[in-house]
Structure 1
């Protein structure tokens, strides 16, 4: 997963009572706002000015590849700020999150099938396994109020799963074959499991994800212990 979790402290954020507005972008809207998304990533990456263009370019290159995946979804969090001298307001990006459903009949994301147990992999057949591959937020989201529902990272990841759950419910034929419910931003998701991979030596990202409710998961016992020890990533899941 792409997660920006620099160690330095960012500027003071808005009141949790005010919050940020979260909404999805279509693929056309993503294309129109690529420059903003790239700037957001570079601003939150925590590097110096020399790394700005490099970090930005790598992020946009990864995003361009993932947006082509079936079912891809991207959410942005926007905060209103004073705009024109006439007293209007404009919206600035405060974060984004994106991912896609893991398809049982398609290529596995980054070798995901080698990291998960069979019962979790089985969820892909019903569309209930959703890979959250990017979560871009400012450092204060990692260091302040990680366990509270209004934490922006928690809101973004929960909304991604909620929207996918709602999409499954809309496609259900009424027979009960898909065990999902319609959910909204501030209600727990039922029936869809989020999954992500974190590079094994990325301790900062791992701590951030665990503080936002992710938990580690391992493949079945039949997988050799040495294979797990030297695997480049760790698998984490979020949800029921």
Structure 2
């Protein structure tokens, strides 16, 4: 197996690499047969919007071609990102959001052949090392067992649950979500990094 090298991408480089990133998405999620085109197109639309968010940052894993990536952005101080959160947000989360100190991990993808080799840990370390945020959050589907396993292995804790945003919601898409319809009743789990730096 080829050695894996990590590198950061600027916003411009991420936009230039979008087709390769979409290839990783399709391989990493291995959706229903015949759904690859729809899933890929939905992903590309979501990715295009995410790349434009403030403080977007991305790292990729390369082994003679992209085999993984991790990216995210700083949450808006307005708190719109928390739309759909079930229950009451802890006051410290609201305070950190208002002060611009929350970073959102939008997507982590590693193709199956390179999983369980520490690639996701290396991607996380490189991405977060330069972000002086107090809180890092990821949101996954409740049935995303692999995502939950990764977050637990990182020592993260469950913050709470989100409902799917209403049509026209200002809340951003969640990990693994494209514009395809989402089953009714599907709930999202929010996970956060402990306050200590990685």
TM-score (norm 2): 0.73
Query: Are 2:192 and 1:237 aligned?
Result: yes
| Structure 2 residue matching 1:54: 3-state secondary structure | helix
Aligned equivalent of 2:107, options 126, 129, 134: 134
Q: CA deviation at 1:235?
A: 1.4
Query: Are 2:13 and 1:46 aligned?
Result: no
What whole-Å deviation, never above 9, does each CA across 1:17-37 have from its counterpart, x for those lacking one?
x5x222221222122111111
| Structure 1 residue matching 2:130: 3-state secondary structure | helix
Residue in structure 2 matched with residue 202 of structure 1 by the alignment: 144
Aligned equivalent of 1:99, options 72, 80, 86: 72
Residue in structure 2 matched with residue 152 of structure 1 by the alignment: 119
Residue in structure 2 matched with residue 223 of structure 1 by the alignment: none
**Maintained 8 Å contact 1:194/1:238:** yes
Whole-angstrom CA distance in 2 between matches of 1:119 and 1:94 = 36
| Structure 2 residue matching 1:163: 3-state secondary structure | coil
Aligned equivalent of 1:162, options 129, 147, 163: 129
Whole-angstrom CA distance in 1 between matches of 2:86 and 2:75 = 10
Residue in structure 2 matched with residue 73 of structure 1 by the alignment: 57
Whole-angstrom CA distance in 2 between matches of 1:77 and 1:115 = 37
Structure 2 CA distance for partners of 1:197 and 1:205, relative to 1, 3 Å = same
**Maintained 8 Å contact 1:115/1:234:** no
Q: When the two structures are aligned, how many residues end up with a matched partner?
A: 172
Structure 2 CA distance for partners of 1:74 and 1:115, relative to 1, 3 Å = farther
**Maintained 8 Å contact 1:214/1:238:** yes
Q: Mapping of 1:169-208 within 5 angstroms?
A: 192-208=134-150
Structure 2 CA distance for partners of 1:100 and 1:113, relative to 1, 3 Å = farther
Residue in structure 1 matched with residue 178 of structure 2 by the alignment: none
Structure 2 CA distance for partners of 1:112 and 1:194, relative to 1, 3 Å = farther
Query: Are 2:100 and 1:123 aligned?
Result: no
Structure 2 CA distance for partners of 1:202 and 1:127, relative to 1, 3 Å = same
Identify unmatched segments of 5+ residues in structure 1.
Answer: 1-12, 80-90, 146-150, 166-190, 220-229
Query: Are 2:42 and 1:58 aligned?
Result: yes
| Structure 1 residue matching 2:31: 3-state secondary structure | coil
